[in-house]
Every structure is written in structure tokens, then in C-alpha cells.
Amino acid sequence: MIDLIESIMPRVKKKLIEIEEKLASTTDSKEIAKLSKIYSRLKEIENLKEDIDYLLEDIELWEEIAKEEPAALEEIEKTKRKIDEKISEMISLLIPQENMKGVFMEIRAAAGGEEAALFAADLYRMYYMYSTKKGWKIEIVDSHKTDLGGYKEIIFFVKGKESYRFLKYEMGVHRVQRVPTTESGGRIHTSTATVAVLPEVKDVDIKIDPKDLKIETFRASGHGGQYVNKTESAVRITHIPTGIVVSIQTERSQYQNKEMAMRILKARLYELEQEKKKSEIDGMRRSQIGSGDRSEKIRTYNFPQNRVTDHRINYTSYRLKEILDGDLDEIVLKLQEAEVREKITRGDFFEDK
């Protein structure tokens, strides 16, 4: 990772000089604001690199001391952790995100029946614990539980300033290999669940013609006991041009369910527009989660080997329990590093998003 940072810094310094020259020659307030924002980000990257250099010097010093004082090894490990934190901050600055309120996440059981539903519940728990560690708030929007405590599907909102930057890598098919609690013969089964990540963007103008909406109400089931069965509080909204359907029944109020359904619809339409801009024919959710077939996996959770493998970057960790307990940063950092390397190749680093 240090080699990646070293390769970036000459470009950062060159870009800083270019922006300084542009700022000195323009009087356009919008241009000044845009350039100043990029300049501030690049200066922060430069400052983090200086911090990393100082910490690397500290490690050299502690390594010399450790030759005679073994206790210095603990200081070396502490310093390495500080470097990792600085690198994580730097990568976040190199991958700017749009002005997000947070993200909607949708987890659905796919291949594997009841075991897939139980795995979907495990994934929700993993994201819940990860979000808690990051200081983000979780709000369940809708869910359909199974008798054994799994989820056929669960939709939830993660509210956090940088939630999309870290969670966007989770979109796709997740595969689990383990002996299910429902299996008496002790055989290892392979099951899958799909994850979709839909950002809710601030101040984005998604125009929806009311004539393009089909809004239906129906009696909710599962949440709220007898009350919801007596009233048509659940809402189903169909966006006719795209065929996108959103159904919400969590809240007792029809108005609240409709408001939440519209938020999710706007998020899906926004992502659909982003996909069109990238000339990808399929809609957002299909491009993210495919059919749920095992061959489309992005990540495998193998219990017998205590292994988690992310197939997009061919990275394997043998810390399955810790990762399922919400310690996702190990994998996320590797995925962010891969994205940065791709940006270097494309040369589209320092444009403001």
C-alpha cells in the first residue's frame, strides 16, 4: 500500500500547483469554489503523507531499540496501526463520494431455501454491527421473517455521512458454505443471498410525474399485530415507465409508508440514471444482484475453513467470525485500494464529484 501512495504523491503535488495557478487567474466564483474544494482535499492528502513519513521514521527508530529492548516491539505494532489509519483516511479522500444522506440496503435470500434466509439474517447482523462501530444509525424499513428467524428479505436505511463510501462494495451475490442448522446429515451446503446498495442523495432533483405512478394500499401483515390487519396502511408504488415496484408496510400510518416508499423509489431511480450514464443497459438492482445464482458470487463465507474470500480482488481472510461480527474494514480497505489503483490507470483521480 505504501508503494501505491508513493506513486500518487507526484501527481498530487503537480495538481496542487495547477490549481494554485488557476485560482490566481480566475474571478469566477463558482470555479473558485470548485477548485478550492479540490485543493483542500489534495492538501489533506499531502498532510497525511507527511504524517505517514514521520510514523515510518518512528518505526525505524523503534526497530533499533527493539534489538536490545523487546518491549519496543509493542510500540512498533502501535505505530503500524496508526499508519493503517492514516492510509484509510487517505484512500477515503482519493475516492470522494457525492453528497449522500445515507444508503438503503436490501438483502434477499436467493438460492438455498431456509438456509439462504438464515444467511440473509447473518448478513444483516454483520452490517448492523459494522454500522454501529462506524457510528451510523440503522432503521429497518421493511422485512419478511421466516419461522426459523431468517429473512426472505430485509430493507434498511443506514444513516451516516460516509456510509455509501464504505458499503457500496457490498452490492452483489454473497455465498455461504457451511453445515446448516436445518441439515441433520452434517453435509456442507452452499447458499446465497443478494445485497443491493441504493444511495439516498441530498439535493438531487429526481422528477417523478404522478401520472407515472400506480399507488395501491393493502392490509399489512406480520408487523404491528392485529392493528395492521384491520387497516389498509401498507403501500405499494409502481413506477410504470421502469417497472420498479416498492412495497412498504412497516409503519402503522399509510402516509408514513407512502413517504418511505417514495424515498426508496427516488433512490432506485437515481441509481438507474447513474447506470444509464455509464451506458450499462441493465437497471441498478439487476446489475448489482443478478439472479442470485451461485456462479455470480462476489464473496464467499466458508465456515469449515474459517475463510472469507472476495472474488473481485482475489483476497482471502481467515477471520470469518470477526468479519461476521462487523469487522469489515479489512476487506473494505483492500477493495478501496483496488479502486484507487483503477483510478490511477484511468487517470481520473482529482476531478471533483
CATH of domain 100-203+283-346: 3.30.70.1660
Alpha-carbon span 18 to 28, nearest angstrom: 16
Is the pLDDT assigned to residue 287 strictly greater than 60? Answer: no
Q: What is the mean pLDDT of residues 161-178?
A: 90
pLDDT bracket for residue 185 (50, 70, 90): low
Fold of the 210-277 domain: Double Stranded RNA Binding Domain (3.30.160)
- In this chain, the answer to whether the domains covering 100-203+283-346 and 210-277 adopt an identical fold is no
More confident residue, 341 or 22: 22
Q: What is the mean pLDDT of residues 41-67?
A: 91
Please state which of the ranges 73-87, 135-149, 298-312, 331-345 shows the lowest mean pLDDT: 331-345
Which of 189, 191, 182, 175 lies closest to 307 in space, CA to CA?
175
Residues 243-261: pLDDT tens digits? 888 888 776 677 788 888 8
Q: What is the mean pLDDT of residues 141-168?
A: 88
Could you tell me the three cell numbers for 184?
441433520
What value, to the nearest 5°, has the Cα angle with vertex 54 and ends 49 and 56?
90
The structural domains of the chain, with segments of one domain joined by +, span 2-94, 100-203+283-346, 210-277
Specify the pLDDT at position 350.
Answer: 59
Residues in the chain: 353
